Structure 1
Amino acid sequence: MAVPSYKKFFNIEEIVREIEKYNPSFNDERFLQAFYFAEQAHRGQLRKDGSTPYIVHPVEAVKILASIHADEDTLISALLHDVSEDTEHTLDEIKKLFGEKIVFLIDGITKLSKVHYQHNMPERQVESLKKLLLHSTEDLRVILIKLADRLHNMRTLQHVPQPEKRLRIAKETIEIYVPIANLLGIRELKSQLEDLCFQYIFPTEYQALNKKLNSYAKKQAVNVKKFIKVMDEAFKANHLEIEILSRSKSLYSIYKKLSHLGKTIDEVDDRIGVKIIVKDIAKCYQALGIIHTTFVPKTDRFKDYIAKPKANGYQSLHTTVFGADGVLTEIQIRTKKMDMQAELGIAAEFFEFSENEKNDFKRVLWVKKIIELDKGGRNSQDFLENLKLDIFQDRIFVFTPKGLTIDLPKEATVIDFAYAIHSEIGNHAVKADINGNIKPISTVLHNRDVVEVLSSRNITPEISWLSFAKTNLAKTKILFYLKKISKDKKLKEGHKILQKEFDISGLGICESFPFKKIHSILERSFGKVFNSLDEVFIAIGEGEVNAGDIAQEISDNYRYAGRFKAKNNEKQEKKGFKVFLKVVAKNRFGLLKDISEVLYKDVLDMYSLKGWASRYEEDAYFTTEILVDDLATISHIFDELYQIEGVRYVYRVTSKGIFLLYFSSILTSLIWIFHPLFLYTIGGSDFVQDYTVTVDIIVYSLLFSLLFMILYLTNVIKNYFPLIRNKRLLWIFTFSLPLIAMTVFILEMIYFDLDLSIFGLILELVLIYAYIGLSYRAFLRSMKKI
């Protein structure tokens, strides 16, 4: 079958004329040379539909780039971007004809096309994506050409025969290319890509919403026409020259808004949008006054992005009024320059630069963030996670008291904000004033919050900060600081963190767990080899190993109790796991509110929350039963609770701990209560004379059982009740109770006239105290690490 002529699809001379309108110095001869070279190279090749000449694709990419006023090299590179990959022509050949810069751009685009982004990418693919994104930071035009290439491919995605491939391409586009277009501020490209992805990812929702909006189109057109007529008259009466245009919203942006609000399209009444262009900034505010005089404004919907621009440079006044016939109408007021910036984003400024300025263009947010990720990521998977968070996630804009805008990912916290300002502010952050309220550094920030970080030279970064730091920058700075602290401090901090995770997991004292098993788990699950528990503590203390992951692996591998597997009488009633927590704090007004806010934010459900004060109301105690997803959530809750002013202790009470406490207490009490009755019974019978050896064995066994249960009870308390683990009272109890038990036993022997060997009793007591002494010595060693 003969390949149809490209002339049926476009007129190359018309395209050149359109380019010359915004670029009078455009070298049309060089461009046409590139076009004819590409056309000859792709001749005979067809697109996926089987009837379109392949050259249509690069030309459509050129038209997209021309719409954002791309320069000559960008357009030529777009024409040639598939030549070296899909034809017999080489990059060396292209270099000789069109220069090294063109080859650099083409090489970047070609390599980027080979990487298919997924949620769980293999290590090799992640490393490739990392290199290619870094490649694009050297010249922003690489990613701009790729965006144009992807947009045209999305426009023709229906011709890809495999449904699963269409879905993969659409997901890849919405997760990687749409956020990049958003970050670069190119609104039109972003909106088109979103709507095309929406069509393939959520086809049912797309069809329903599209049909519904089409049914509103005629009515909306009438309302817009009425609004424009009224406003045009108002502006003329005030002698203000303006350009007024209707502004349509993308389907996907409407869908996201509906999903967020939990509403249907019939319940949303601000579907109409209008854009007003004026000559200068002063006239923006003059136009705003005229609009608010003509129509009643919706007071909670005004935003001034001229005084406080968005992080990507966007400027405009936004307001919503009850327009013609009372229909809510969204209005954007801006200058011509602002409009260019809003529509073209960074391209509006970038293509005005000289070649040297383009090479030095490192202040673009995209460039800065990719370079930061490269510096901060410890491995490829770190890079991928940080890429999703710092670049591909929705953003919020937070302000300093002086009005400086800080761009952060959604769910970012005060500590992320602090490090975004300066490392020293982050390193010594203690609290924050958020909109006039003092909050901890773990507080999640929201769009347009005004934040002032309160610092203290006595405060330094801790491992726990990593649990609520969201940005790669903050995590990198925290880890950098932790690497520099002394080995002794790392050891103490690591011990404290691992013990906290063991307590959360119900695993007991970390030193009591066999190191061989920890060694085996670290090597098998994390590829880490340590020769001692102290080395593990140090690695945790500097952030090399996550203590929560260690505790999770131990629990999963050895099926210890108290973990999140609905074991040990913790019944699984719904998704998640019940957990019982206790909090001890210095009593103050508002404490209950602060604690409940942390819990409600992170838990799936709360079954109870009880609080009471001590006798003189100096201390406050809280118990709560909550439903959580996993261990990581509990660990995060612990860290956030400790950020609350006055909180001293937070610990988990496991069902295993409660069971063992009751069991050992009852059994110890029973032995203590009934052994005198036993002695009384045998003391008054002939059994003592007839079976002396047997009686001795029974009596010694009873005494040993009593002493053993006393020690077991104290170990249960140490392992499962961390609040009193390190208290002096526990050790006084541990040392004195066996002695009391032995004294009582000797008095009972005298009273019941039993003839037992004192040497045997003393030997038994010595063995018990030798064990207690060794335990106390180990306790003192562990205390030095805290």
Structure 2
Amino acid sequence: MMRQFELVERVKAYDPNADEEQLNRAYVYAMKMHGSQLRASGDPYFSHPIDVAGILTRYKLDCASIVTALLHDTIEDTDATLDEVRRLFGTEVARLVDGVTKLTRIQISSDNAKQAENFRKLLLAMSEDIRVLLVKLADRLHNMRTLHFIKKEEKRKRIAQETMDIYAPLAERIGMAEIKTELEDLAFRELHGDAKESIEARLTFLREQGGSLVPKIIEELRDTLKANGLDAEVTGREKSPYSIWCKMQRKNVSFEQLSDIMAFRVTVGTLERCYQALGIIHGAYPMVPDRFKDYISTPKRNGYQSIHTAVIGPQRLRIEIQIRTAEMHSVAELGVAAHWSYKQGTPSMEGRQYRWIRELLEILEHTASPEEFLEHTKLEMFADQVFCFTPKGDLIGLPSGATPVDFAYNVHTEVGDRCVSAKVNGRLVPLRTVLRNGDQVEIATSKAQTPSPEWERFVVTGKARAQIRKFVRSQHRDQYLSLGRQLLERTFKEQGYQLTDKGLEGVLKKYRLNAVEDLIVEVGATHLTAKEVMQAVYPGIKMLPKLANALSFGRNRKKTKAEAEPHLRIRGMIPGMAMHFAKCCHPLPGDRIVGIVTTGKGITIHTIDCDQLETFSNEPERWLDLGWDHETVGTAHVGRITVVVSNEPGSLGALTTVIAQNLGNITNLKITNRQQDFFDMLVDVEVQDVRHLTNIIAALRANAAINYVERAKH
């Protein structure tokens, strides 16, 4: 336990103007008020506030913060009152002690209303003075260091989980990297002790095996920089066990597969030299793609600045390097404690590191209840979340990697279903754009819009994914119903019979189905064949081959060349003008269409939802309202589909076979993306109309080799 004079000397060492008399009085008052109270370890209770004050001297906090640390438990655990603290130590200290006392009462609870109210108190206390949070973090850090003295395992785990869920993310949010790392590792030991011991044992083994490797890498990096005229301090840093464990879980890899357990830091004198060092390192060693981040030009919201890069460096090892100035390093390690504004005056909420609290306060003013506030914000302190704003200023909390579609569904299910475009910070962006903290998102909707199955490939929230899947299932059922009825009608007709619902009702029990519609859907999804169903309806029937009708479309197909187009009558066309179909959207009979008049080219026909139409939005005189006069039977048109096929033997054959069986003709096929497990393709198919293409899509979806299929819109 730190003695009274030692604490005063520590504070005076970095703050010669500190109120020595106030520090002494606070030390004695805390000792007197806590009296004979004991901690779980058996130590005198007053040793705890003294150790908390000692932790804060490491971050060179002002005198009022140190006094607050000494007194932070007096109101909660002794007979002291807030009025007495105010009378003895002043208004500023009393306000800070009161704020920390409110934070002390915060605990995770199954009662949502209570938890929401506690979070609200937490925000309000932090907003009044960020030093309240700094004192509480030091308090929690000392409690975690002595957690093993608590006998009840359940209580230890609750405190550790609370630390992991609330206090470590809060420390990260204000840039207190040292406190955050230690809190995480102490909680990690309690929650996943076996995993921590295993990782520490492997780290010890690596240190023993490669003890001379790290110094060699540091020396070579230093020599490389010096040879190019740059003196820099180069150090090596081992990642924490918890950080390593998180990466193993996130990437689903073993410890041995990790290549960046060690990180190296290059510290230079000025900002310009940071970029000079980056150029030297990238010039000397191959850069690892997709591992470069410039947090100097775009700092993190907690004020963190540094350049991160990964290279195949000395000893041909893949290493991670951070480049920063000494001042940036101070901010990275100490966070707000490195440059808080009240060292020059009164506390301010204007700094970047406080802005997130102020923004939440603005939202708090517009929420009807603590529960609503908790639902919309989750405090913006969790590292794996991003928080964005609606145009009205409402805050929406989303998982990391969320997109405008996730945002739209979070606002309201109907907004998500009808989402057509999004603006982020006033700029139109693709719907798959990944949102960042602080983005303002505006969603445009249309009553004609429906969820796109493609959205499921990039949304990350459960609500969005569930809603999209629900719509897709409904859409697929309609398509399967249409396709199944066509298959049954054709099969029955070929055999000289008429399809009736009454006939199908008689075989429902055989297939354990409740309705005729369900049976037809099963046929459309290819879970049953039309031939099977017909033989069930008419037992003993001998099926006759009827190939002529099935092949009639293929034999009589006409090309979509100039000789075929005159047979097509488009309602609204200007007589005598040339006409051709746009290659961007491939309009088909049955689509809603418009024409764009182009001098020297005639009229180009687009689908009403074609993205290219936006190019002509300011030229309404060029638009023609067109429509199909009739669907020309036997005339082929090219429809384009996007397909994701499993990378397995026979998959491409399955694709072509399904299209051929459904009377389509592939005119072009292009692989747009190759992955280990899947191929993305664009396939042009000759069909009669939209309905024909829809049937082909439905049949492809029912095939196990096809992972995804949709009509291409671009």
Q: TM-score range by the shorter chain?
A: 0.5 to 0.7
Cα distance, 1:359–1:447 mapped onto 2, change above 3 Å:
closer
1:42 paired to 2:34: yes
> Cα gap change, 1:429/1:502 in structure 2, threshold over 3 Å: closer, same or farther?
closer
Deviations 1:706-733 (A, max 9, x none): xxxxxxxxxxxxxxxxxxxxxxxxxxxx
Q: Secondary structure at the match of 1:245?
A: strand
Partner of residue 108, structure 1: 99
For residue 617 of structure 1, report the CA deviation from its aligned partner. Answer: 4.3
Please state how far the C-alpha of 1:154 moved relative to its aligned partner: 0.8
Instruction: Say if 1:136 and 1:233 are closer, same or farther in 2 by CA, change over 3 A.
Output: same
Q: Distance in 2 between matches of 1:500 and 1:297?
A: 44
Mapping for residues 621-770 of structure 1, pairs under 5 Å: 621=694, 622-623=697-698
Aligned twin of 1:302: 292
User: What is the distance in 1 between the residues matched to 2:640 and 2:55?
Assistant: 57
* Per-residue deviation, 1:594: 9.9
CA RMSD between the two structures: 4.9
What residue is the counterpart of 1:445 in the other structure?
A: 434
Match of 2:657 in 1: none
| Residue in structure 1 matched with residue 203 of structure 2 by the alignment | 213
Q: In structure 2, the residue corresponding to 1:277 is in which secondary structure?
A: strand
- Which amino acid is 1:77 matched to? T
- Change in Cα spacing, 1:244 to 1:361, as seen in structure 2 (3 Å) is closer
Superposed counterparts of 1:326-725, under 5 Å: 326-358=316-348, 364-375=354-365, 377-388=367-378, 390-395=380-385, 409-414=399-404, 430-431=420-421, 441=431, 443=432, 445=434, 592=642, 615-617=688-690, 620-621=693-694, 622-623=697-698
Pair 1:66-2:139 in alignment: no
Partner of 2:307: 317
What letter is aligned with 2:371?
Q
SS in 2 for 1:133: helix
Question: Conserved in 2, the CA contact under 8 Å of 1:270 and 1:329?
Answer: yes
CA deviation map 1:654-675 (0-9, x unaligned): xxxxxxxxxxxxxxxxxxxxxx
Taking the aligned partners of 1:343 and 1:585, their CA distance within structure 2 comes to 60
The C-alpha deviation readout for 1:747-779, integer Å capped at 9, x for no partner, is xxxxxxxxxxxxxxxxxxxxxxxxxxxxxxxxx
Equivalent in the alignment of 1:75 = 66
Residue in 2 that maps onto 1:16: 8
**Structure 1 153/363 Cα, relative in aligned 2: closer, same or farther at 3 Å?**
closer
User: Counterpart in 2 of 1:126?
Assistant: 116
Question: 1:242, CA displacement in angstroms?
Answer: 2.0
Answer whether contact 2:377 2:387 (CA < 8 A) is retained: no
Match of 2:86 in 1: 95
Structure 1 stretch displaced more, 613-622 or 99-108: 613-622
1:251-281 deviation digits (Å, cap 9, x = unpaired): 1111111111111111112211121211111
Deviation at 1:283, TM superposition (A): 0.8
Out of 16, 31, 45, the position equivalent to 1:54 is 45
- Amino acid in the other structure paired with 2:90: G
- Matching residue of 2:247: 257
Structure 1 CA distance for aligned equivalents of residues 591 and 152 of structure 2: 60
How far off is 1:163 after superposition?
Answer: 0.5
Contact 1:180–1:392 (8 Å) recurs in 2: yes
Mapped to 2, the partners of 1:377 and 1:46 lie a distance apart of 43
CA contact (8 A) 1:611 1:623 kept: no
The answer to whether the 8 Å contact 2:103/2:125 transfers is no
Matched-pair contact (CA < 8 Å) for 1:430–1:454: no
- Is contact 1:297–1:319 with CA below 8 Å preserved after alignment? yes
Change in Cα spacing, 1:124 to 1:389, as seen in structure 2 (3 Å) is closer
Counterpart of 1:13, as a letter, is F
- Please say if residues 386 and 471 of structure 1, whose CA atoms lie closer than 8 Å, have aligned partners that are also in contact: no
Matching residue's letter, 1:63? G
Aligned-partner Cα distance in 1 for 2:162–2:33: 29
Q: 1:78 to 1:595 in 2, by over 3 A?
A: farther
Question: 2:225·2:280 contact (CA, 8 Å) conserved in 1?
Answer: yes
**Amino acid corresponding to residue 290 of structure 2 in structure 1:** D
* 8 Å Cα contact 1:585-1:620 kept in structure 2: no
Is 1:148 aligned to residue 163 of structure 2?
A: no
Which one-letter code corresponds to 1:298 in the other structure? V
Q: Residues 274 and 569 (structure 1 numbering): CA distance in 2 closer, same or farther, change over 3 Å? A: farther
Q: Residue 183 of structure 2 is aligned with which of 186, 189, 193? A: 193
Q: Deviations over 1:26-45 (max 9, x none)?
A: 22222222112112222322
Distance 1:308 1:370 in 2: 22
Gap change, CA 1:611 and 1:209, over 3 Å in 2: farther
1:27 alignment counterpart: 19
Report SS of the residue matched to 2:235.
strand
Q: What secondary structure sits across from 1:274 in the alignment? A: strand
Residue 71 of structure 2 aligns with an amino acid whose one-letter code is L
Q: Residue in 2 aligned with 1:164?
A: 154
| Kept in 2: contact 1:76–1:102 (CA 8 A) | yes
**Residue type of the alignment partner of 1:615:** Q
- Please tell me the residue identity of whatever aligns with 1:139: D
Deviation, structure 1 residue 144: 1.6
Q: Report the Cα distance in structure 2 between the residues aligned to 1:388 and 1:335, rounded to whole angstroms.
A: 34
- Give the length in aligned residue pairs: 496
Say if 2:215 is the partner of 1:225. Answer: yes
TM-score computed with the length of structure 1 as normaliser: 0.54
Amino acid at match of 2:252: G
Equivalent position SS for 1:117: coil
Alpha-carbon distance, 1:241 to partner: 2.9
Are 1:137 and 2:210 counterparts?
no
Change (3 A) 1:82 1:239: same
Deviation (angstroms), 1:407:
11
Rate the CA distance shift 1:416–1:240 in 2: closer, same or farther, 3 A.
same
Q: How far apart are the structure 1 equivalents of 2:449 and 2:127?
A: 33
CA 1:90–1:263: 2 relative to 1, 3 Å: same
Q: Is the 8 A contact 1:154 1:193 kept in 2?
A: yes
- Residue 596 of structure 2 is matched in structure 1 by none
Contact 1:134 1:370 in 2 (8 A): no
Cα displacement string for residues 510-532 of structure 1 (whole angstroms, at most 9, x for unaligned residues):
xxxxxxxxxxxxxxxxxxxxxxx
Deviation at residue 613 of structure 1 after TM alignment: 8.4
Secondary structure of the corresponding residue to residue 194 of structure 1: helix
Deviations along 1:48-95, one digit per CA (max 9) or x if unpaired, are 111x22222112222222233322211111110001121222211111
Instruction: Among all aligned residue pairs of Structure 1 and Structure 2, give the percentage whose two residues are the same amino acid.
Output: 34
More helix by share: 1
Question: Are the counterparts in 2 of residues 74 and 145 from structure 1 also a CA contact under 8 Å?
Answer: yes
Q: TM-score, normalised by structure 2?
A: 0.60
Distance 1:114 1:193 in 2: 19
Distance 1:501 1:100, change over 3 A: farther
CA contact (8 A) 1:183 1:365 kept: no
* 3-state SS of 2:157 partner: helix
Decide which moves more: 153-162 or 310-319.
310-319
Change (3 A) 1:317 1:362: closer
Change in 2 beyond 3 A, CA 1:433/1:42? closer
Residues 119 and 379 in structure 2, CA contact (< 8 A), matched pair in contact too = no
* Equivalent residue, structure 2, for 1:684: none
More strand, by proportion: 2
CA distance in 1: counterparts of 2:346 and 2:221, whole angstroms: 45
CA shift for structure 1 position 409: 4.5
- d(CA) in 2 for partners of 1:178, 1:153: 13
Change (3 A) 1:111 1:132: same
